[in-house]
A and B are shown apart, each in its own frame.
Chain A
Amino acid sequence: MSDSLDQIFIRIKQLLLAPLAGAPDWVMQIASALINIFALLGVFLTLFALISVLERKILARIQNRYGPNRVGPFGLFQPVADGIKMLIKEDIVPARADKVVHFLAPILIAATAILALGVIPYGRNMTPFAIDGGILFFFAVGSTTELAVFMAGWGSNNKFSMLGAMRAIAQMISYELPLIITTFPVVMVVGALSPDAIVVAQNGYSFGVVPHWFVTTPWGAAAFILFFVSGLVESNRTPFDVPEGESEIVAGHMTEYSGFKYATFFMAEYIGMFAISGLAVTLFLGGWHAPIRGLEFIPSYVWFFVKLSILLFIYIWIRGTLPRTRIDQIMNFAWKFMLPMAFTCLVAAAVWHYAGRGVAGWLWSLAVLGIVYIALSILLDTRKKFGTRTYRFAE
C-alpha cells in the first residue's frame, strides 16, 4: 500500500505515456521530458503562489498584524488577485533603455532559475532529469543568473539599476565560492556528483532513530549552515538583500521593470530560493529519506516537501527578524570567514573519512572545525569593532 502510494506519480506518468507505446524512441523521450517539465512547473508555480501569501502572513504574525485576509478564506486567494493585477498593469519600458536586453533579462533569469530545479530528486525515482553531473549542472545554470542580472541593470539605462546589478553580481560571485566549496565535502564523501547518488548515500539509521544524513556529522552541520547562509545571499534575501535595498537604490536592477516583467523577477527570486533549499535538503538533510525508520511508510516526496517547507519557513523567519547588512560587511564576511570555514569543512570531512566514519571520526572532525573556528574568531576579533560610530563622509 505505502509502496504504491510512494510511486503513484511514476505510475501516472507511465499511464500517460502508455498510448505512445510503439512510437519511435525520440518521441517517447520528448513526451517524457514534457510531462516532467509540466509537472515541475505546475508544482513549483503553485508553491510560489502559496509561499508568496504565506510569507506575508508569517511576516504579519511576526510584526503583530493581520496580513492579507480579504481575498478568499484567510486571504488564500491573494496570489490570484496579485497575478491578475500584475497581468493588467501597464508595461513601461524606459525611452532610453536598450529594448532587446531589457526585454530578455527577465526571461533569462526565470529560465535559469527553473532549469536548476530539474536535477533535484523529489522522491524515490522522482528526479525529473537525472544527469551524471547534476550538482555541476545546478551551479553551471546558476552562474548564468549573474549575466541576466547584469542585462537587467545595464539594459534599463538607469543608475539605480546599474548600481543594484553591480551589488548583486559582486555578492553573488563572492558567495558562489563558499556555496560551491561547501558541497565539495559531500561530493567527496559520496564519490559522485549526481544528486540521486548523494541521497542514496544518506540512507540508513543508527539505532533506528538517528538518520545517516550528512547534517548529523560535524562537518556536515557546519557545511549546511555555511551553505544555507550562502543560499540566502544567492537568492538576495534579507539580511543580504542590498541589491534591492529600497531605502538606498529604489529596487536595484528591477527598478525600471513594471507589470508582468517585475512579477517574473519576483518569481525567479522565489524559484531560486526553492532550488537552493531543495539542493540543501538533497545534500545535507537526506533528500527524501524519512527522519526515523518508523516513519518510512509516509511517501518519500512528502518528506522532501516537509523538509523544503521547514527551510522556507526559516528563510521567512530570518526575513522577519534580521535587519539588512551593509555591502562591505557582506563582502568581508564572505572572504574572511565563509571561505576559510568552507575549506575547513573539506578538511574535516577528509578527517572524518580517514578516522573511520564512526564516533572517532565524529570527534576528530569536530576538533578540526573547533580549532579553525576559534582561530578565525581570534584573528578577525569582531568584538573590538563595537564603539562610537564615526562618519567619514557626513558630519
Chain B
Amino acid sequence: MNSAAFVVIAILTLAAAFASATLQKLMHAALMFALTFVGIAAFFFLLGAEFVGLVQVFVYVGAVAVLIVFTILLTRRDVQDTGKPNWGGAIIAIAVFGGLLWAILKTPALFIAAPQIEALTVKRIGGVLMTDYVWPLQCVGLLLTAALIGALILVMEDRDEG
C-alpha cells in the first residue's frame, strides 16, 4: 500500500511542479507551487516523519505560499506571462537537478538498508532541539527576531507626515 501511495503522491507532486513551471498565469503557477509543497508534506507523512510534514504544511503552505502570492499581487501590474519559455531558467534547473542526482547516486548510504530506528515523536524532536541543537536554534531565533525588527523599521510611518 505504501508503494502505491508513493507512486500516486509522486505523480501528483511532479505534475503540480511541472504545471507551476509551465502555466501561463503567474498566480496559477504560485498556487500550483503551494500544491507541490503539500505533496512534499505527504512524502514526509509517508516516511513517518509526522512533525516535519506538519511543519512543511504550516510554514510552506500557510506562510511561504501566502507570501509568494502577495508578492506577485503587490509588485506585478500584469500577472500574465509573456509566453516565451525562459531558457536560462530551464538550463539552471536542469543543472541543479543533474548535480543533485549525481550527488544522490554517489552516496553509499543509498544501497544500505535503513536501520530500525525508534518512532520519531514530537517529544524526542523537542528534547534534541533543546539539548544538542540549542545553539543553532538560538541563532535562528536571533536571526528571525532581527528580520522581524528590520521589517518593522521598513514599514514604520514617518511621524511628521501624518
A residues at B contact (CB < 8 Å) = 26, 98, 100-101, 131-133, 136-137, 139-144, 146-147, 150-151, 154, 169, 173, 191-193
Please, which residues of chain A bring their CB within 8 A of the CB of B66? Answer: 146-147, 150, 169, 173
12 residue pairs from A and B, CB less than 8 Å apart: A98-B25, A101-B31, A132-B51, A133-B51, A136-B54, A136-B55, A137-B54, A147-B31, A147-B61, A147-B62, A150-B69, A154-B69
Q: Is B58 an interface residue (CB 8 A)?
A: yes
A98 to chain B minimum Cβ distance, whole angstroms, is 8
> Is the CB–CB distance between B62 and A133 below 8 Å?
no
- Of all A-B residue pairs in the complex, the 8 with the closest CB atoms, nearest first, are A143-B62, A140-B58, A140-B57, A136-B54, A26-B1, A140-B54, A193-B122, A133-B122
A372 to chain B minimum Cβ distance, whole angstroms, is 20
- A101-B31, A136-B54 known; 14 new pairs, CB 8 Å cut-off, are A100-B28, A101-B28, A132-B50, A132-B122, A133-B51, A137-B54, A140-B58, A140-B61, A144-B57, A147-B62, A150-B66, A150-B69, A169-B70, A192-B122
> Is the CB–CB distance between B31 and A133 below 8 Å?
no
Q: In the bound complex, what is the Cα–Cα distance between A98 and B122 (angstroms)?
A: 41
B148 to chain A minimum Cβ distance, whole angstroms, is 11
B131 to chain A minimum Cβ distance, whole angstroms, is 15
> Is the CB–CB distance between A132 and B121 below 8 Å?
yes
Cβ 8 A contact of B31, one of A26, A137, A151, A191: A151
Cβ 8 A contact of A136, one of B1, B28, B51, B63: B51
A289 to chain B minimum Cβ distance, whole angstroms, is 23
Q: In the bound complex, what is the Cα–Cα distance between A140 and B61 (angstroms)?
A: 8
On whether A140 and B51 interact (CB within 8 A), knowing A147-B69, A150-B69, the answer reads no
Please, which residues of chain B bring their CB within 8 A of the CB of A26? Answer: 1
Map CB proximity to A onto B45-67 as digits: 1 under 8 Å, 0 otherwise. Answer: 00000110011011001110110
> Is the CB–CB distance between B34 and A147 below 8 Å?
yes
> Is the CB–CB distance between A191 and B123 below 8 Å?
yes
Please, which residues of chain B bring their CB within 8 A of the CB of A132? Answer: 50-51, 121-122
Q: Is B17 an interface residue (CB 8 A)?
A: no
Please, which residues of chain B bring their CB within 8 A of the CB of A139? Answer: 58
Q: Is B27 an interface residue (CB 8 A)?
A: yes
| Smallest CB gap from B162: residue in A | A392
Q: Is B73 an interface residue (CB 8 A)?
A: yes
A304 to chain B minimum Cβ distance, whole angstroms, is 24
Q: In the bound complex, what is the Cα–Cα distance between A141 and B123 (angstroms)?
A: 21
| Smallest CB gap from A27: residue in B | B1
Cβ 8 A contact of B50, one of A133, A146, A147, A192: A133
A347 to chain B minimum Cβ distance, whole angstroms, is 17
Please, which residues of chain A bring their CB within 8 A of the CB of B28? Answer: 98, 100-101
> Is the CB–CB distance between B62 and A140 below 8 Å?
yes
A183 to chain B minimum Cβ distance, whole angstroms, is 13
Please, which residues of chain B bring their CB within 8 A of the CB of A142? Answer: 62
On whether A144 and B62 interact (CB within 8 A), knowing A26-B1, A193-B122, the answer reads yes
A182 to chain B minimum Cβ distance, whole angstroms, is 17
Please, which residues of chain B bring their CB within 8 A of the CB of A98? Answer: 25, 27-28
| Smallest CB gap from A138: residue in B | B54
Please, which residues of chain B bring their CB within 8 A of the CB of A144? Answer: 57, 61-62
Cβ 8 A contact of B123, one of A136, A137, A151, A192: A192
Please, which residues of chain B bring their CB within 8 A of the CB of A192? Answer: 122-123
Q: In the bound complex, what is the Cα–Cα distance between A216 and B25 (angstroms)?
A: 53
B117 to chain A minimum Cβ distance, whole angstroms, is 15
> Is the CB–CB distance between A143 and B122 below 8 Å?
no
B29 to chain A minimum Cβ distance, whole angstroms, is 12
